[in-house]
Each structure stands twice: as C-alpha cells, then as structure tokens.
Amino acid sequence: MATFSLVDNNPSMDKLTSEIFSILENKFLFGYDHNVTPTKDQVSVPIDDMKLHKHMSGKVRVLSIDGGGATDGVFAATSIVHLESSLRRCSGIPDARIADFFDVVTGSGVGGVLAALLFTRGKDGEPLFTADEALRFVVENGHKLSRVGKQGVFRRILGNSSKNGKVFRKMFGDLTLKDTIKAVLIPCYDLTTGAPFVFSRADAVEMEGCDFKMSDVCAATTAVSGPIDTVSVDRRTRISAVTGELATNNPTAMAITHILNNKQEFPFCNGVDDLLVVSLGNGEPSCGVAGNQTPSRAAMLKIVGETVSDTVDQAISMAFGQSRASNYGRIQGNKGFIDSENLNKGKGTNILKLAEHMLRQKNVESVLFQGKKCNKTNLDKLEFFATEIVKETERRKLNILPTVVLRQTTTSSSPRTSSATTLSITSSN
C-alpha cells in the first residue's frame, strides 16, 4: 500500500501544515509559565485554551443504535427524533439532520437499518430519511424485522426467496456503502467463517470487494431467520449472513475499536477523552415466563442479546472513567416499568406511547460491579448530550487540526492503486 501523505501536492494542506507548525511554535514559546504572552493575532485558538492544551483537534462524535429489544427499534427511533429536535434547537438550524452532527454511526439489526436510512445520501445530497420518516418506517416494520416467527421473517415481509430484499431495494436502489455520508459500521454474523462481519464505509472505499449495496446490508443485519446469501458489488466477496443482533446487539464497543485503530480517518483520536458517544438502547425486553416453563428460543435470543448489551454498556462506562458523565451517554428503557400487556399488542400508537413513556423514565447508568444508578430522565440526558454535541461542533471552528479525515471515493473509472489515492482532506463539521 502506498504511503499516505497529507501534504503532497495539496495547496490547502500547505496552509494547514503552516498552521500546525505555528501552533506548535506558540505552544513551545508560550506553553509554560513565562511572562511572555502571545497576542490574539499570533494564534487562531483562544490563548487560555491553548495553555491548557485544549481544542487541538476535537472529539469524534459517535451514534450507536442497538438491535431490536423490547420495542423493535421504535424506542431508538423515538430517541433519535427527540435528539434531532434538540440539536436543531441548540444549534439554531431548523432543518438540520442527525447526520450533520455525528462523525460515526453504527447500528445492529433494526438499528443498522436506522443507521442506513439516516446516513445514506440521496439524489439531492441529503440523507434519504428524516428522523420522523425513519420512526414511521420502524413503527410499521420494526416488529417484522426483529422477531422470529414460524414462517421466518423474510417469508412474511418479502414473500418467497426470489423477492428477498424487495422492500430494501425499493428504498435504496443501487446505493452502496460508498454512498453513505459519514463513517458507517453495520454488523452481521457470517456463518461461512463463523465470525462477525462488519459492513464498513471505510473498507468499501478502500477495497472494491468490501462494497455492498445498502439494500443487501440491511437485509443481512436483520436476517433473524437467515441465512441470507450476501454478495459484494464486484461479486468477489460472498458471506452467509444472519442478524447483527447475534454478532453484537450493542455495537458501541465495535465502533470505538474501529475509531481507535483507524488513524487515517481519525488521526488524533487516542482514547476515550477524544470521543463523544451517544448509545441508544431499544428497551430491555420482558422475557419472563411463568413457573418453571422453559423460555422459547426467540425469548432466549432476546435475553442473551440484551444481557450482552448490558455488559458492553457497563464495560464501556467503566472505560470512560471520570469522563463517562460528559463523554458517554447511554439511553435505555427500564425493564421494570415496561407494561407487558401493552407491549404484546405491539403496533402503532401503543408502541409509540410505550417508547415515549420509557424516554420519560429515569435514566439508568450501569457501573460494572457496582450495579445501576438512576439519574435524570432519558429525555434530560438526550438534551444534555445534544448541547455537548453542538458545543463540539462550534469548537471545531477553532481547531487547527482536522478531527476527521474521511476517505473519499474516486471520480475516475480507472481502478484505484491504493487507499492513498482516494483520500481527501475533508474535515467533518
């Protein structure tokens, strides 16, 4: 692979390089308790912040969306609607989209479908779906995408095997992972290799064999009764996919691992202090059974998935340490207050009311080996993180170094020789 250079034959990068050396020079000269202080004209970030080594690059903003859960995607979709509304209000941009405020999105199962709907670019350059439209989609289809039935989920939704993917193909057409607006990560489980497989925009841009149609990605991550034969656009990669809820129902850890190990796109992200994560659960399922009755296989799948999700949440919360209150937010419905009778009705207004009810519950913070703590409500926490995300967006206007350097697709029809040829210095706003 060719060596990647940020400055070769790039006038804009010559200017950036000059600014970088200028900031380093100022830090060297004025970063100590000397009497000499630089003027405002000498630096492009606030002097006090420079002394504290702040705002050098910024925090990577991550949105993570769980698989089905108790509300089959409706709770997460409702959370996104409220989050988008708060972001619009805090930023003063009435038509802003959720994709405008995040650098990375990851979703599993129906959460992966939400990620695809909200972060895939349409013909007008805007995301295909608004948050409200995505909510309507999961209200109508979420229970079909997340539950195992006697006939199999795709037979019920899409008819026979020759029509598999019809609904998703209608929504996405020929759009692929390369057509996503920000970094996208959507997992499934590959029965061929016996290991998780992650559909990644970064991989799709770098390697043709990793580019898949978005309709196939959504079919793979929601293949509850799979497997679904999934083939890359160039036909070189073939996987036998089943639901991403098996691979990683809570994909937050996967996203963090990707960011910390992807220095080409996130060159200055070195730890949790450089992250701002909003993780959306989908409501812990009520899987209790009477007496000694054995849970069904579907109930066991839900129990395992949510148990793993909760463990991931606790581990990540501990990893963030003292910064978890400001850098990591988990929004999850409270199992103890779910109305099973209303939940089993599971359609339309009842599910929406249940999701709204869970958003108004006390937010539960999981602390490994210390149990759970109830804080302010889920809505309050969404509002808090919307404010923090907008602050981060504003801080980037003062940053010298780019927080995110997204790989860009080539406009030429000739084959790419390496990932370096497709990189462009585009800092996410």
Where b means 16+ CB within 10 Å and e means fewer, 14-35 reads: eebeeebeebeebbeebeeeee
Helix or strand holding residue 14 (H, E): helix 11-30
Say how far apart CA 145 and CA 222 lie, in whole Å. Answer: 6
Q: What does residue 361 show for φ and ψ, rounded to 5 degrees?
A: -70, 165
Helix axes 348-359, 131-146, angle to 10 degrees: 110
Where b means 16+ CB within 10 Å and e means fewer, 271-300 reads: ebebbbbbbbbbbbbebeeeeeeeeeeebe
Give strand pairing partners of 241.
Answer: 190, 228
User: Tens-of-pLDDT digits for all 429 residues of the chain?
Assistant: 444 444 344 554 455 555 555 555 454 444 434 343 434 343 344 444 434 444 467 899 999 999 877 788 999 999 999 999 999 999 999 999 999 999 999 999 999 999 999 999 998 899 999 999 999 999 988 777 765 544 443 333 333 333 446 889 999 999 999 999 999 999 999 999 999 999 999 999 999 999 999 999 999 999 887 789 999 999 999 999 998 887 788 999 999 999 999 999 999 999 999 999 999 998 875 555 444 567 666 666 666 767 778 888 888 988 898 888 899 999 998 765 555 544 555 445 588 888 999 999 988 776 666 666 777 899 999 999 999 999 999 999 888 888 999 988 754 333 433 333 233 334 455
Strand pairing report for 238-242 and 183-190: antiparallel
Q: What is the pLDDT of residue 400?
A: 83
Q: What is the pLDDT of residue 297?
A: 64
Q: What is the pLDDT of residue 37?
A: 40
**160, amino acid identity:** N
Task: Enumerate the active-site residues.
Answer: 108
Q: What is the pLDDT of residue 142?
A: 74
Say how far apart CA 228 and CA 220 lie, in whole Å. Answer: 6
Say how far apart CA 249 and CA 257 lie, in whole Å. Answer: 16
Going by the DSSP 8-state scheme, the letter that residue 164 receives in this structure is T
**189, amino acid identity:** Y
What would you report as the CA-atom Rg of the chain, rounded to the nearest whole angstrom?
22
Q: What is the pLDDT of residue 268?
A: 92
Are 165 and 231 in contact, with CB atoms under 8 Å apart? no
